Amino acid sequence: MPLSSGYVLRETGGNLRRNIGMTAAAVIAIAVSLTALGGVLVMRQAINKASVQWRGGVEMAIFLNPQVTTNETSAIKQELSTMAGVQKYHYVDKAAAYKEFKTIFGGNSDIIGVLSVADMPPSFRVVPSKAQDINELGKQFDGQPGVLRVSYAAQEIQSLLTQFHRWRILGYGLTVGVLIAAVALIVNTIQLAIFARRREVAVMKLVGATNWFIRVPFMLEGFIHGITGAIIAFALTYGLRNWIASFASDPTILGTSRLFVSPTEAIMTGLVLLVVGIVVGALGSAFAVRRYLAV
């Protein structure tokens, strides 16, 4: 029996109208669970951006005053060059520091607009010979002329990860719990639709309709549940991305209590949510239909 698009859309629309309450509940459950998942992904993106200064094995950053003199910079460079515990180091000038700054805070035009290249503190990024010696190395630069502060990767990254760990457990737990409820709602909704049309389904099978002919409208219904919930979660995650990212922030990181995520990164997270929503809807509908047509 041929399967027409008009038949599929008509039957799917009828099912959705007959079970509008259950449909709404399933969509809301998917939206809540995927928003929690999106929140975890957004916080991870923000932390990855905040840790950009510590890539390449850097364990210590010596941030200089924006008004540091050439002589003060040269003195620190000379000291680093002669230290036995320093494996390597590199200098980050104001222009490079501003580029980093835009990477970390690119999602907030207010901050980017206020500060310029001249306001950026240059720095030396240090890779020690032994990581355990880094605190001793740092003490030699604390309070030195031209030095704004000395930061350590272990402390700053661990602070971020500690904040993120708490929210990640909560987010993943909420995601899994509500997704299970969402799948159950989808299964129940589709089973109700099949049950309401059980005589019609029996007649269609008697006249030669294949299981796929009967199955496709119900599978499309589950797909609509999943993608609608995912779109809602996408919109919430995109709009609240910087507020969500702030939960993984720490006020000691670059002197701010906020982290930011760019629109492009939020869109990538949204694509993940759409895929998960489609999979959840498809799995729920496939299970529900398979159970009723296994005759």
Q: Which residues contact 86 (CB under 8 A, 6 or more apart)?
A: 80, 126, 127, 128, 129, 137
Average pLDDT over residues 129-153: 81
By DSSP bridging, strand 86-92 and strand 60-64 are: unpaired
Query: Cα(80)–Cα(74) distance, rounded to whole angstroms?
Result: 10
Task: Tell me: pLDDT of 39 over 60.
Answer: yes
Domains detected in the chain = 5-51+158-293 (no CATH), 55-153 (3.30.70.3040)
pLDDT in tens, 260-275: 777 788 888 889 999 9
pTM of the model: 0.66
Of the CA atoms within 13 Å of residue 60, those in its CB half-sphere come to 27
Q: How far apart are CA 291 and CA 288, in angstroms?
A: 5
Q: What is the pLDDT of residues 162-210, one digit of tens each?
A: 667 777 787 888 888 888 888 888 777 777 766 666 666 666 667 666 7
Angle between helices 94-105 and 20-50 (to 10 degrees): 170
225-246, pLDDT tens digit by residue? 889 999 999 999 998 887 887 7
Find, among 207, 255, 272, the residue nearest to 36 by Cα. 272
Give the per-residue pLDDT at 235: 93
